[in-house]
Amino acid sequence: MMIDRRSLLKVAVVAPLATTATTGQAFAESAPPALRPFALRDVTLGGGVFADKRALMLAYARGYDVNRLVQVFRANAGLPTGGAVAPGGWEGLDGEANGNLRGHYTGHFLSMLAQAYGSTGEPVFAEKISTIVGALVECRAALRRDPVPLSVPGRFGTGLEFIRGSYQYLDLPPNVLGGSAAVTLSAWVKPTHAATWARIFDFGNDTTRYMYLTARNNNGVPRFAITTNGGGSEQAINGTASLPLGEWSHIAVTVEGTAGVLYVNGSQVAVNTAMSLNPAVLGQVRNNWVGRSNYAADPAFAGVLDDVNIWSRALTASEIAGLRNSPGKGDLASYSFDSGLSDATLRRTWGSPSHPGFLAAYPETQFITLETMTRSDYTVVWAPYYTAHKILKGLLDAYLNTGDARALDLATGMADWMYARLRKLSAEVLQRMWGLFSSGEFGGLVEAITDLHQITGNADYLALAKLFDLNSLIDACAANRDVLEGLHANQHIPIFTGLVRLHESTGEQRYLTAAKNFWDMVVPHRMYSIGGTSEREFWRARGAVASTLTDVNAETCCAHNMLKLSRSLFAHDRNPKYMDYFERALVNQILGSKQDQADPELPLVTYFIGLAPGSVRDYTPKQGTTCCEGTGMESATKYQDTVYFQHPEGLYVNLYMPSTVRWQNVTVTQTTAYPFEQASELRISGNATFDLHLRIPGWARKGVTVTINGSHHVGKPTPGSYLTISRAWRSGDTVRVEMPFTLRAEQALDRPDVQSLMYGPVHLVARDSRTAMLEFSLYRNATLSGDLVRSLTPVAGKPLHYTLDGVELAPFFEGTADPFHSYFRRVEPRVVFGGLDAGVANVVRDGTSFLDTVWSAAPFPTKTDFVTRVDRVADRFYAGEDRTRVTRTARHAPLWP
């Protein structure tokens, strides 16, 4: 069921803070935030670099066949996949760690589509959402029942299809072999995947006593084997050529006396005349299977079967050849599938139907196995609750943006299933699970579950959210004990956004205190200049920056989730530091994580950002569909989600971005080319009295000028604060904010001579293929404000591009594949002020140079203040003639404001 966007306003009113980027309003809460964001539909993004990046992602979203996304869900449920091909990378059975994360990308894609629809209202996005949700409804229903045979055209009549990923097999009646010493196994097979050791037949009790026929052994050829003493004692017959994929092949084996013969397409391909074992010596076995192995790690057969027969004798070569042209009729068993399965039973390797509400692209066993794991092994279990979060969040976004009640029903079903499962586990088991690296990762699940509680009012969901409390981490952060070193970064960042939501719903202060303290442990102590964090996905020691520069820094998911946490914390205490960070990470890492190129198959988003010298951004990491490409799709369709916040008496302008917001009885249109323009203008439409709060960026060293209607100056704004304008606004009023950028060099916390360049909010990188750290000098033309930009030469026709010592500098947010240097080594060998060389070495004491110490006090209101600073610092660094030269040069240097 779909509803129109106007009616949707009635639905969205129940949305909580964490989902207001896509929904809007909030329930009354125990500890409500002071501010609320706007729904995406209430903020229109104007033209510019953000809109250009978003346009690339919207084009990808419009064109991608979403039937590919649900292929793995359909396969897992045993439903026809319609020939759809699952996305590559992690989102498929062949993905990393056996595809144990499949389904996560579909959740991200749903969120992207929901945000795209919320932002643009284009029907194509709602239609795609409906297709995915409808498929998931069918999949959940199929998982709740016994598998249904999939009948397809067979070799002679009807064939039985085993979809890869359905984990289905045929269970034949007990004693189907009848104790016969001779046997013929025969079947028409049409394999669809080249997996080795997938069985056609397997009879046995375990991995010691069995007899099987497989389409492919390790060499890719058919193999028959029988043993009573395990794999090392198999008596076998091996074929000579692989069975072709997607084509019918007849395969048969006969065993009688000491001879075994393997046939393919009616021709004898291999013989073993020294066999001492036969089916009779196995006795009555427990497992009589078609399509499943007694070895649990072997894959189920994928393909189509027809005319499956078992005889109690060895058919002759001519009889085998005759089976190519007409169906057989085994005296022990015969299955043509024209009229069902006869006495066989279609089963799943993972057992009975799933529990009510379960929905995933893999069996419930991933969740069950996690409960007994004592150490992480992502090849066995890879973050099933993390994947559940992506699906749940996607469904909530779908419901809140389109009103599709089916999505909410799927979401509540998932939560009901989780609560039924987790509430039975002891606190000890839960703590062990959530503490496991990777396997126990649950992403932002607490946030999503708490949102669901707000939407439905179901108290069980709040109880469920609290079951994910990782107390060792929460208690440490609440006590302000930094325990982050060695932790997987993105496994833990989303936990704290969930804690903020829990604080809002429960009033428990410990949650909010832990989140605030955690944020301060990351920013700036584990933050790179682009705003990102982590090295090889992990946090290193507090303050370690320069010592951690590699080709695998700043996992993009971390920046995405730090932005979510920052906006949540800002909504509570309005501390401008959260928005200063938000702008840094958004304008640099998030914007720069999207390649400036269109692609119909890939979102082209980074995973890691290499910050070692000469790094190149990889926009197709790990064959695509990683966690970071998922969050990248979401980021690129909600750039405007934090530009404005609201409270009943006022409007907060947090970011400078071309956009229009509709609030109460007014519309505010922001016009700017930011960050190419160092100013922004806001125009009011409508009459109202309210407070307008303008963010004054912390980097604005040259000061900010605010005017109303072109003439009235508003106070003296303080960098790193909000300027409040209380006014009875009239239609046509304009507010102009001018904030000149300055070029500043930021020192790495653990090595002051390793630095990076920031021009206002923009991180400038050196485009250079050398892999040794570049060396730059910058103080020679520094101005009284501390601005270093006069040492750079602008590049004509390329805004925000400069050259320095022959090397081009460019904004990181440009999504190119050029090699770059984010950090350089600062080399200031001599004391130079305003281009005047004092002829004195720049002395270093206690790891800090004289010039660094002087300029750390910038900006200087007047030259007199600057000279006074030089004079005082020179007392600590120089004596005699050197000190005189330094202070004389400072007095005579032509310094710009």
Q: Averaged over 58-86, what is the pLDDT?
A: 97
Q: Please, which pLDDT band fits residue 257 given cuts at 50, 70 and 90? A: very high
Residue indicated by tokens 């409270």: 647
What CA–CA distance (Å, rounded) separates 648 from 437? 43
Distance CA 91, CA 71 (A): 10
Reported confidence tier of residue 632, pLDDT bands at 50, 70, 90: very high
pLDDT at 15 over 70: no
pLDDT of residue 5: 42
Checking if the pLDDT of 644 tops 70, the result is: yes
Q: Residue 27 — pLDDT band, cuts 50, 70, 90?
A: very low
**Mean pLDDT across 120-141:** 98
Residue 524 burial by Cβ neighbours in a 10 Å radius (0-12, 13-18, 19+): middle
Q: Which residue has the higher pLDDT, 701 or 429?
A: 429
pLDDT at 183 over 90: yes
Rounded to whole angstroms, the Cα distance separating 151 from 634 reads: 39
Residue 321, burial from CB neighbour count under 10 angstroms (0-12, 13-18, 19+): middle
Is residue 294 over pLDDT 50? yes
Q: What is the pLDDT of residue 500?
A: 98
pLDDT at 623: 84
353-369 pLDDT, tens per residue?
Answer: 999 999 999 999 999 99
Sequence letter at residue 753: D
Is it the case that residue 251 has pLDDT exceeding 90? yes
Burial per residue of 29-66, b for 16 or more beta-carbon CB atoms within 10 angstroms, e otherwise? bebbbebbbbbbbbbbbbebbbbebbebbbebbeebeb
Closest CA to 570 of 637, 655, 445: 655
Taking 80 as the threshold, does the pLDDT of residue 113 lie above it? yes
pLDDT of amino acid 203: 98
| pLDDT, tens only, 795-816 | 999 999 999 999 999 999 999 9
- 150-348 in CATH: which number? 2.60.120.200
Please state, in angstroms and rounded to a whole number, the distance separating the CA atoms of residues 700 and 705: 10
User: Alpha-carbon distance 660 to 668, whole Å?
Assistant: 6
The predicted pLDDT at position 25 comes to: 33
Q: What angle do CA 867, 871, 874 make, to 5 degrees?
A: 135
Residue 2: pLDDT band with limits 50, 70, 90? very low
pLDDT score recorded for residue 712: 80
Confidence bin at 580 (pLDDT 50/70/90): very high
Is 871's pLDDT higher than 60?
Answer: yes
Q: Would you state the pLDDT for residue 847?
A: 82
Calpha distance 349→170 (Å, rounded) = 10
The model's pLDDT over 481-537, given as tens digits with 9 standing for 90+, comes to 999 999 999 999 999 999 999 999 999 999 999 999 999 999 999 999 999 999 999
Give the residue among 278, 306, 267, 304 at the shortest CA–CA distance from 184: 278
718, 576 Cβ separation under 8 angstroms: no
Q: How far apart, in Å, are the Cα atoms of 461 and each of 642, 701, 883?
A: 27, 48, 70
Average pLDDT rounded to a whole number, residues 582-593: 98
Give the length of the chain. Answer: 897
The matching CATH number, chosen from 2.60.40.10, 1.50.10.20, 1.10.10.10, 3.40.50.300, for 5-25+40-140+356-640 is: 1.50.10.20
Annotated domain spans of the chain: 5-25+40-140+356-640, 150-348, 643-677+679-738, 834-897
Domain 643-677+679-738 -> CATH class:
mainly beta
**Residue-level pLDDT at 607:** 98
Per-residue model confidence (pLDDT) at position 182: 98
Phi then psi for residue 775, to 5 deg, are -120, 130
Please tell me if the domain spanning 5-25+40-140+356-640 has the same topology as the one spanning 643-677+679-738: no
Cα 461 from Cα 450, distance rounded (Å) = 7
- Predicted confidence (pLDDT) at residue 30 exceeds the cutoff of 90: no
Q: What is the pLDDT of residues 830-862, one digit of tens each?
A: 999 999 999 999 999 988 899 999 999 999 999
CA–CA dist 22, 39 (Å, integer) = 5
* Torsion on CA atoms 348, 353, 354, 359, rounded to nearest 10: 70
DSSP letters for 832-860? EETTEEEEEE--EETTEEHHHHHHTT---
The pLDDT tens digits for 670-717 are 999 999 999 999 999 999 999 999 999 999 999 999 999 999 888 889
- pLDDT of 17 > 80? The answer is no
Would you say residue 3 has pLDDT above 70? no
Model confidence at 20: pLDDT above 70: no
Q: Are 658 and 48 in contact (CB under 8 A)?
A: yes
